Amino acid sequence: MSKTSIRINLPTLEDKKPDIRKMSLEELKMAFLDMGEKSFRAKQVYEWLWKKAAQDFDTMSNLSKSLRENLKNTFDLRPLQIDDLQKSKDGTVKSIFKLHDGHLIEGVLIPTETRMTACISSQVGCSLACKFCATGYMDKKRNVEAAEIYDQVIAIDKQAQAHFGKSLTNIVFMGMGEPLLNYREVLRSVDLLCSPEGLNMSPRRITVSTAGIAKMIRRLGDDKVRFNLALSLHAADDEKRDRIMDINDSNNLQALSEALTYFYQQTQNRITFEYILFHRFNDSLKDAENLYKFVRKHPARINIIEYNPISEANFMRPEEDKIDSFAAYLIDKGIRTTVRRSRGKDIDAACGQLANKKPQKEALLS
């Protein structure tokens, strides 16, 4: 990119200051030259922004005061804020994050003996309107920016260290929103999280979950992504999936199967299928057979997820023996299958429950 294009992006008195975290390192170096600063200072600032996750320019202690003032006058730095926190009796921590424009999103720390997982949001609300998901009953306000995704991870990592003395081990894009409808920002956030200039996290520790957008799954294949892909399936016949997921009208099972095959051919990444069991809807052995027939076409694993009730829907959780029988059928067929027990249900932090509900005062963390 030329200096001229960077200079155009720098503010005049009439212009709004550009967000510094939307700039690449090369763009930042050019901008520094235009400001009359040494380009190596840009690398120092870039390290403060990502590796050290600086919240404001004044914390950049190895920069001169005059440069910090110049940065404040030239650029905007807009970290998210924690609006509320809740801690579940099982140790799960839910955060309500406030973005720079006042919008709220949620993120969850899910602790286990072997993992510290951050569940993060990629959109403010959601446009897909899945019938079982609380976020689906909210309007989509906007996409979450890459820096805002990064901030969620940083904040949840600090919570993991403060409450459990451990750093994050995994990140899942399973919070509010559909990640593949925010493709550019989600992939940029993953790049930043995995970069040596960022958190230097392995992409194998990151999972992006989608409700199923075939053309974007193919695009992931074209981009040769290295992170894990999870498909929220929840029914393996089109009639049932149509009833609970509007996205199936335009992305039916045949289209998804072809896209997943292409994705695997391009990346060699095993695919995870998420399947919420609903009482007397998709929990029969016939449903298990349909699921097996669908997933056997791809190197796959299945996560069976307990349903977490929401006030907007009338679905119910199956009996325990139904869940066990369903899982046993798939295991007997040689499919790697895990029953995921819900975490954080008492604070509306479990799968499908995120809807920006304010906690009661007695649930707030000190």
Q: Tokens 């981009």 map to which residue?
A: 223
148 is catalytic: no
Q: C-alpha dihedral over 22, 106, 305, 307, to 10 degrees? A: -140
Cα(85)–Cα(358) distance, integer angstroms = 9
Residue 167 gets the label, from left (phi > 0), alpha (psi -120 to 50) or beta, of beta
Pick from 118, 250, 117: which is nearest to 181 by CA? 250
Q: Is 231 helix (H, G, I), strand (E, B) or coil?
A: strand
DSSP state of 18: P
Closest by Cα among 204, 194, 115 to 156: 115
Active site residue: 37, 106, 178, 185, which one? Answer: 106
Catalytic residue among 119, 239, 351, 362: 351
What is the C-alpha separation between 118 and 185, in angstroms, rounded?
Answer: 18
106 is a catalytic site residue: yes
What residues are paired with 179 via a beta bridge?
Answer: none
CB atoms near residue 39 (< 10 Å): 14
Q: Is 65 helix (H, G, I), strand (E, B) or coil?
A: helix
Q: Which residues contact 320 (CB under 8 A, 6 or more apart)?
A: none
330 membership: H or E segment, kind and range: helix 320-332
Closest among 299, 244, 241, 238 to 272, alpha carbons compared: 299
3-state SS, residue 162: helix
Distance from C-alpha of 31 to C-alpha of 158, rounded to nearest angstrom: 32
- Tokens standing for 254? 């045949």
Positive or negative, the CA dihedral 197, 198, 200, 206 is negative
CA-nearest of 81, 118, 104 to 356 is 104
Instruction: Give yes or no for a contact between 160 and 200, defined as CB atoms under 8 angstroms apart.
Output: no
User: Residue 40 phi/psi, 5° resolution?
Assistant: -65, -20
Active site residues: 106, 351
